[in-house]
Structure 1
Amino acid sequence: MLEFTHSWWLVAASFAVALMAGFTGLTLTRGASTLPEAKRKNVVAMAAVVLGGGIWSMHFVAMLGLQLPILFYYDALITLISALVAILVVGLALLLLHFRQRSLPVIVAAGSIVGVGIVAMHYIGMAGMQLCRPVYGFADIAISTIASLLLSILAIWVAYDARTHRNILLGTVCFGLAVVTMHFVAIGLTDFTVAEATGAAGPLLDNQVLALGVTVAVFLICGAFLLTGITFVTPEEASADTKVESAPTVETSPSPDPLPEPVTPPKAGVPFEREGQTHFALPETIAALRAEGHYTLLYVGEEKLFCPWSITEAANRLEPAGFLRVHRSYLVNPVFVSSFERRKDNGTCYFDEVPALPKVPVSRSRLSVVRDVLGV
């Protein structure tokens, strides 16, 4: 059997790659379950590529750090297959999480699928080695698989138990540990021996060529990590010591009443004018209110009704009843929100059952509050 060592800076780099991929993939899918089906599929596909590609990249960054006393190569086709398997398996887990009701059995199933995907990627990748054969037994595979399953289930459970920043960060650490622990447990249980050259299924890759491909993959993961990380903390959650901002946006409420009504839910309903008479709409039937000068418009089903309240007075009276101020000009009833879409520093609430009001903008300053109320 051949003696081998590791380059420890590449070991550390492999762990960093796993963490960046985990953070990016878990952040991309935050709120995905509230998106329309087509957009949700796109988000799941992107997250699967990042997470699966991160598993593959972590493995081969670590393998580049594997130092053996002989020269060896990789079969390019088998190496590619290992990457595709990781992406497809992780994609299956994400489909379960975002297209099925997120119960404990679904979370355990998704975590198990991710764990199996990590194991499959590892051993398929190892099978691509040429001139050097990895030697391991059934017990070695079983121990590696158990470690991968337990840590992957933990990662998915932590990240999806609640889609908060804290859970995503903890889930990222668990995901990174799942990938790295499985790899090095498996490598620690593996022996290497010299093997004769066999007919490769594809072109042969030496470490220099493999390093080029891995570098490109890691570069893309780093880029995605930066893009998701820059918007991970919303303005309300950013540090208070941020002093310099270019062209700050100051939101002002339109003409608030000098003496607002007491902050109590309306007892007789919300008034609206029709044919010279004042009628009242029950708060639970109102989907949203929009500022119209010193007055507001009520959106009730297919109707737009004129209300004499200002948006400020409406907020004072209706927020205790569960209504949510999402914009300086909009107040919405969260019960009627059918889907939510995050758009950089702001967002949009959609109302599929309210034909007169297909969507409402969510301002940057209210984004975190809206997401907390909607649970995304």
Structure 2
Amino acid sequence: MPVTYDPAIIALSVVIAVQGGYVSLMLARRLASLGQAPGGLGGCAGRRKALLAASALALGVGIWAMHFIGMLAVKLPIAVTYDLLWTLISALVCILVVGLGVFVASFGRLTPKRLAGAGLLMGTGIAMMHYVGMSALRANCIVSYSPLLVAASFGVAVAAAGLALWLAFSPTHRPHLMAGAVCMGLAISGMHYTGMAAATFLPVEDLVAISAPVLSLELLAIVVAVTAFVICGLFLLVLLPDRLDERAAEQERETPLPPSLAATPPGEREEEAPAPPGSPGRIPVNRNGATRLLVPQEIYAVHADAHYTYVFDGVETYFCNLSISEIEARLDPATFLRVHRSHIVNVAHAAALKRVRDQGLLELDCANRHAVPVSRSRLPKLRAALGI
């Protein structure tokens, strides 16, 4: 039977998919910043679980909303409803499988094997949601599929999801969260419309009796509209802090330097005021509910997350309730260098310095590859400290 589509609703479905992908990847990035092992960082275990659940829910609901917005774009010459139970099952299956993908991508370094596994899980979750959701369709027709296009739809989902994760998480380049979100949106919508191209709707003469509870198109439209509104709201809430940070950074760059610094060579200027002076001392850190005192020589790098920090000793990552400025005040400035607003490194453990556009990426000499971003204005000082 003839099938037509509403272009405006198709465009809306793609936008919702991209927004859901952005929220999920942002939460997953925050999850990845909490450490390298699922049970690590002691008191952060509850926060890690909450972030994992929120990321899986955001992506799963985004996929579900995109699918049914896309189905609202389909115009068939027959009445269509959706089985309530299978509609719910499609969402639950999707959230579970993509949650496993988020887990694999977020815990530990994103190696090629881990990337392939996470991409496969996410792509499979996207495709499963589509075909389980299609099984919820109730109408006087039979839906048949082209095996070749079904396989192609799975391939599109897995490949695009893998590319999205690589763009958002790969340690070999500067992460591109928005580009990753766009790829994730294309994975979801590309899979959906490839799957729809695989479907053929064959009319049947006999009326199909429906006994289970169903959703009418009108009710489905209301549910999807509310879901889309929630996703848009989450997108704006997650996006807002980043935009404020960028604006603050721009204002900081535009602020005139005081006379005492105006004559200072650019390479010697700091982005912000140095930490108050202090003597080197032990740093209290927490892991698995136990407090440990790290001597400065054990510390490889420090990473700030809001008002708290994470300390890396070359093997493990520990939670610390001190701010990065407080830690900087306890470390020897001859050994430890603030290379970014959110990062301090022990230059004695520097292994390689790479240029990434106008910034840098410092690799440390530890068993598991650990790289620290270096801001543009601090590159000259780091180069001087390394003697290069």
* 1-structure distance, mates of 2:298, 2:71: 50
Letter in 2 for 1:184: Y
Per-residue deviation, residues 36-56 of structure 1 (Å, max 9, x unmatched): 333122111101101111111
> Which of the residues 304, 309, 318 maps onto 1:349?
309
* 2-structure distance, mates of 1:194, 1:172: 38
C-alpha displacement of 1:23: 1.0
Distance 1:44 1:94, change over 3 A: same
* 2-structure distance, mates of 1:198, 1:137: 27
C-alpha displacement of 1:125: 0.4
Q: Which residue of 1 aligns with 2:385?
A: none
C-alpha displacement of 1:154: 1.4
Gapped regions of structure 1 (runs ≥ 5): 244-251, 253-262, 264-288, 303-331
Whether 2:33 is the aligned partner of 1:24: answer no
Q: Which residue of 2 aligns with 1:46?
A: 54
Distance 1:239 1:66, change over 3 A: farther
Q: Which residue of 2 aligns with 1:168?
A: 177
Identity of aligned residues (%): 30
C-alpha displacement of 1:164: 7.8
* Structure possessing the higher radius of gyration over alpha carbons: 1
Per-residue deviation, residues 157-178 of structure 1 (Å, max 9, x unmatched): 2221149875111111111111
* 2-structure distance, mates of 1:163, 1:238: 27
Q: Which residue of 2 aligns with 1:81?
A: 89
Q: Which residue of 1 aligns with 2:152?
A: 143
Gapped regions of structure 2 (runs ≥ 5): 35-43, 259-267, 269-273, 285-295, 314-318, 326-337, 344-360, 363-370, 374-388
Letter in 1 for 2:93: V
* 2-structure distance, mates of 1:162, 1:204: 47
Per-residue deviation, residues 308-361 of structure 1 (Å, max 9, x unmatched): xxxxxxxxxxxxxxxxxxxxxxxx99936677533xxxx3114599xxx94222
> Which of the residues 94, 97, 101 maps onto 2:102?
94
* 2-structure distance, mates of 1:338, 1:32: 17
Equivalent residue runs for 1:276-355 within 5 Å: 291=276, 296-300=278-282, 335=299, 340-342=304-306, 347-350=307-310
Letter in 2 for 1:145: F
C-alpha displacement of 1:375: 4.4
Whether 2:64 is the aligned partner of 1:56: answer yes
Whether 2:179 is the aligned partner of 1:197: answer no
3-state secondary structure, aligned to 2:278: strand
* 2-structure distance, mates of 1:138, 1:77: 26
- Whether the aligned pair in 2 keeps the contact of 1:163 and 1:375 (CA below 8 Å) is no
C-alpha displacement of 1:76: 0.6
* 2-structure distance, mates of 1:242, 1:298: 30
Aligned residues: 296
Distance 1:165 1:68, change over 3 A: farther
Per-residue deviation, residues 93-143 of structure 1 (Å, max 9, x unmatched): 111122244211001110111111111000000001111432213323212
Per-residue deviation, residues 77-97 of structure 1 (Å, max 9, x unmatched): 101111111111110011112
> Which of the residues 221, 225, 229 maps onto 2:235?
225
3-state secondary structure, aligned to 1:69: coil
Q: Which residue of 2 aligns with 1:12?
A: 11
* 2-structure distance, mates of 1:43, 1:367: 28
* 2-structure distance, mates of 1:70, 1:360: 64
Alpha-carbon RMSD across the aligned residues, in angstroms, is 3.7
Distance 1:350 1:168, change over 3 A: closer
C-alpha displacement of 1:185: 1.1
C-alpha displacement of 1:193: 2.4
Distance 1:153 1:358, change over 3 A: closer
> Which of the residues 107, 117, 140 maps onto 1:109?
117
Q: Which residue of 2 aligns with 1:212?
A: 222
> Which of the residues 360, 364, 373 maps onto 2:322?
360
Equivalent residue runs for 1:248-259 within 5 Å: none
* 2-structure distance, mates of 1:39, 1:334: 27
TM-score (norm 2): 0.67
3-state secondary structure, aligned to 1:192: strand
Distance 1:224 1:197, change over 3 A: same
> Which of the residues 157, 173, 176 maps onto 2:166?
157
Distance 1:362 1:300, change over 3 A: closer
